Chains A and B, each alone.
Chain A
Amino acid sequence: MTTDVSRDAPQSVPALLARNVARFPDKPAFREKEFGIWQSWTWAETEKEIDAFALGLLTLGASEGDHIAIVGRNRPALYWAMVAAQKVGCIPVPLYQDAAAEEIAYALNHCGARYAVVGDQEQVDKIADVRADVEALEHVIYLDGRGLRKYDHSHMTSYAEIAAKGGDRAEMERRTNALTYDHTSVMLYTSGTTGRPKGVVLSNRNVIETAKNSSQFDHLLPEDEVLAYLPMAWVGDFIFSVGQAMWTGFCVNCPESEHTMLTDLREIGPTYFFAPPRVFENQLTSVMIRMEDAGRFKKWLFDHFMNVARRVGPAMLDGKPVSFGDKLSYAIGNTLVYGPLKNTLGLSRIRIGYTAGEAIGPEIFDFYRALGINLKQLYGQTEATVYITQQPDGEVRSDTVGVPSPGVELRIADNGEVFYRSPGVFVEYYKNPESTASTKDAEGWVATGDAGFIEESTGHLRIIDRAKDVGKMADGSLFAPKYVENKLKFYPNILEAVVFGADRDRCCAFINIDLTAVGNWAERNNIAYSSYQELSQHPRVLEMIDGHVAEVNASVAQDEMLAGCQIHRFLVLHKELDADDGEMTRTRKVRRAVVGEKFDDLVTALYSDVSEIYTETEVTYEDGRKGKIKATLNIRDAIVAPTMKVAAE
């Protein structure tokens, strides 16, 4: 993993800052909406602000190697605080602003932070709650002083006051110049869904090489604009709003508050945009609801041109040939529908959009691409400094996560787990050599924990499931329940699905209907029902689900690796899977083992040939009382599509 760095190339984020100030001193670097107006700071002004705070930190007593926690919503001053920390040889540690006090205490203790720079009273209160347990913490610096007038200020100062202190400029410059590619740039805590959060140490090499490679991959320009609204503690935000912004010199825009994000998005009209699937889903839903209320002509216009867009848009985006008539229709649609719609969504100017984090529904993905928005997928994690794979322009599909990012090598282990090696591979987990060793081997290969495979024809990576959930069926073929469940869940009528099949000869599934969607459908179709249970077993509902399962089977059958995962029999559950009953986690992830055990009788029935089963289930009501619900469930045989292998024979 040697990288040729010429002696003049910037070796740290502060060095990139200095380079940008020399290159374009008067270009906006940061904007923030405050008091109803977008305030902006040029690169030259940004450097002044950062220097002022860095000098203040020196005067406060910051030593090289100290950790400085940063907690708050995306604001320019907090980004400056991170770079200022780097300038005086300290390590910024951004933490999730919505983390509970104990979680913040854990991180502060773990990294031994001497200082914390926080947004407002809420964060100050949280730290005050745990102050007794956090011995190393000496001083809290806050941005917004509202409500803090009465607080004891012996260990607390406002950001402005620190920035006004001044300090030893020569010492600051000495420390900045001493920074190399091997110095730690930032430390980020993983979310810690399993066990304690781990502090991922990223070096300047990780950050700058990744920023450079990814900026070149997508041809990012100094004229680009981003909206910084995702948590500062997340590696993606650090790379987009600090790494890439510093590398290419584009402008980072901070919203006025958490609640104004959509308005601010519209006002800024970013050219480079990142959002988890949830954001795109919510936007699409609100558009659809508003169109339902629109007049008949407008509704017709929308439906008509969206059909044109779905047919023509993605092809045009990929630069494929399109007939003249289609081009004309699309142009008219663009004037009447797509343009105004994109403008309303704040997506008019997007050149590159990314989604990642979880699977995105194909119809959501296609909707945005049909509008001419270059939405792509990437696959990454903190330990890789974000990028593992990403989709190049013109090769975008909803079912892959793209080709390896520049500089990334991929390897698929025998059990299907994806391994990678790149200049972005993290240095270590802070104070946790065991975890470091079990994640990263001596040659620098890192285990992702995800199972997947590389499509031979295109070289794209496809992620199928968490590696620990992937199993084998009785005949030895690959069993990836989540892959099939996700396909099912993309139907609005299906809320949850649980697929069984490990060590069995075929797959079967439990399905939960979505009461809102199916209830709505029932109302429109004059289907009367008195309870969730009754609706779930209604013959027409079962027919509808039959159709969905058949479509999913047909799509699974297309896949040479996973064709064995087609659903042979299924039933629609009489109750929603619920965290109160232990069937799901609080973050709404199905607990497969618990569900399998609890509904043991139903699983047995699925693998027999009965067409009905009577069952009793214990449920917990919201007030903690327990009750039993009894139901007779229908078991349906699904239509199984011929697999390619069979078809070929």
Chain B
Amino acid sequence: MKDMLTPYVTDDGRQIGETLMDMRNITLRFGGVEAIKDISFNIQEGEIRAIIGPNGAGKSSMLNVISGFYNPQEGEVWFRGKKRPPMKPFQVARLGIARTFQNIALFEGMSVLDNVMTGRLNHMNASMFSQALWKGRAEREETENREAVERVIDFLEIQAIRKTPVGRLPYGLKKRVELARALAAEPKLLLLDEPMAGMNVEEKEDMSRFILDVNDEFGTTIALIEHDMGVVMDLSDRVIVMDYGRKIGDGTPHEVRNNQEVIDAYLGVSHD
């Protein structure tokens, strides 16, 4: 198995850098239920890291630990070489971690543009007074942020729906708008919770292309949860496989595919 802790170059020539995020012996309990049992893994800069596993394996919980939504009872989260104390989600967001949700969480009544603008919140520093008067810093910031948002809109090819209220959009496009909002934050680490759930083949292909392009163009590190094995194997550099809260595999798509425990978990064997 490849040494996972050093920078490496992928088959298609992308440079994978130092460890961005290191999860050390994470255990998460809800009352008596252990959702995550002593899991360790890392995410390196520039890679696409997938977390897969059957329903209830603890994938979303894991993503929620990374995004600061849950604080694990045991274990440490290291981000960019520093141990991260327990934090509120908005504090985590300020560190440069953005996410999308399994069930779309957008402002339905607001336009696509306004929704994506909310992703820029952490890039706005003007005082409330300045914003109310629309002078100086507030005005300048709005222009800068709008420009950044327009680049994302162009990148994800959603110009045609810029002014459309999100509530009127079909599901596949809402997913794309959510990705746009996360991207607008210019995150160091982008977390995608089932970005392709409920999509048809064509929408999945589009989404895959956008995820690859984001990674390629901006060098954004991406961690994603996905059910569709084909998609995961095509997209990701390294895959973590979870089952019943445990990590049962970790490696390149090829390694994971040949891992007996993974095969058992997916094809099903009897559990005692």
Contacts and interface: CB of A to CB of B under 8 A. Distances in A.
A259 B147 CA distance: 21
A34 B154 contact: yes
Nearest to B148: A35
Given A36-B162, A257-B160, A263-B160, A149 B151 contact: no
A36 B155 CA distance: 12
Nearest to B213: A147
Nearest to B150: A35
A413 B11 CA distance: 67
A526 interface: no
Interface string B75-107: 000000000000000000000000000000000
Given A260-B159, A263-B160, A149 B153 contact: no
Given A35-B147, A36-B162, A256-B159, A150 B154 contact: no
A33 B162 CA distance: 13
Nearest to B147: A35
A36 B153 contact: yes
B264 interface: no
Which one of A34, A35, A257, A260 has the greatest number of beta carbons of chain B within 10 Å?
A: A35
Interface in A32-59: 33-37
Interface in A87-128: none
Q: Interface majority SS on B: helix, strand, loop or mixed?
A: helix
B160 A146 contact: no
Given A146-B155, A257-B157, A260-B159, A36 B217 contact: no
Interface string A132-161: 000000000000001101100000000000
A150 B13 contact: yes
Interface string A253-292: 0001101100100000000000000000000000000000
A232 B205 CA distance: 28
Contacts of B209: 147
A458 B157 CA distance: 50
B216 A149 contact: yes
A150 B155 CA distance: 17
B13 A36 contact: no
Nearest to A36: B150
Interface in B124-160: 146-147, 150-151, 153-155, 157, 159-160
Interface string B178-216: 000000000000000000000000000000010011001
B272 interface: no
Interface string B13-26: 11000000000000
B217 A146 contact: yes
A33 B153 CA distance: 13
Which one of A34, A37, A150 has the greatest number of beta carbons of chain B within 10 Å?
A: A150
Contacts of A150: 12-14, 216
Which one of B147, B154, B155, B159 has the greatest number of beta carbons of chain A within 10 Å?
A: B159
A267 to B, nearest CB: 11
Given A35-B150, A150-B216, A260 B160 contact: yes
Contacts of B12: 150
Given A36-B159, A256-B159, A149 B154 contact: no
B151 A35 contact: yes
A253 to B, nearest CB: 15
Contacts of A146: 155, 213, 217
Contacts of A259: 157, 159-160
Contacts of A34: 154
Nearest to A148: B216
Interface string A455-499: 000000000000000000000000000000000000000000000
A320 B217 CA distance: 61
A149 B217 contact: yes
Contacts of B162: 36
Contacts of B154: 34-35
Contacts of B159: 33, 36, 256-257, 259-260
A514 to B, nearest CB: 26
B146 to A, nearest CB: 8
Contacts of A257: 157, 159-160
Contacts of A37: 150
A25 B217 CA distance: 37
A257 B161 CA distance: 11
A460 B217 CA distance: 58
Contacts of A260: 159-160
Interface string A56-88: 000000000000000000000000000000000
Contacts of B217: 146-147, 149
A36 B152 CA distance: 11
B231 to A, nearest CB: 18
B160 A147 contact: no
A263 B162 CA distance: 10
A149 B12 CA distance: 11
Given A36-B162, A256-B159, A257-B159, A147 B151 contact: no
Nearest to B209: A147
B150 A147 contact: no
B159 to A, nearest CB: 5
B53 to A, nearest CB: 30
A146 to B, nearest CB: 6
B91 to A, nearest CB: 31
A37 to B, nearest CB: 8
A260 B217 CA distance: 24
A351 to B, nearest CB: 27
A37 B159 CA distance: 11
Contacts of B212: 147
A536 to B, nearest CB: 33
B184 to A, nearest CB: 13
A34 B157 CA distance: 11
Contacts of B113: 36
20 contacts: A33-B159, A34-B154, A35-B151, A35-B153, A36-B153, A36-B159, A36-B162, A146-B217, A147-B209, A147-B212, A147-B216, A147-B217, A149-B216, A150-B13, A256-B159, A257-B157, A259-B157, A260-B159, A260-B160, A263-B160
Closest 3 interchain pairs by CB? A259-B160, A35-B150, A260-B160
Interface of B: 12-14, 113, 146-147, 150-151, 153-155, 157, 159-160, 162-163, 209, 212-213, 216-217
Given A36-B150, A36-B162, 19 more contacts: A33-B159, A35-B147, A35-B151, A35-B153, A35-B154, A36-B113, A36-B146, A36-B153, A36-B159, A146-B155, A146-B213, A149-B217, A150-B14, A256-B160, A257-B157, A259-B157, A259-B159, A263-B160, A263-B163
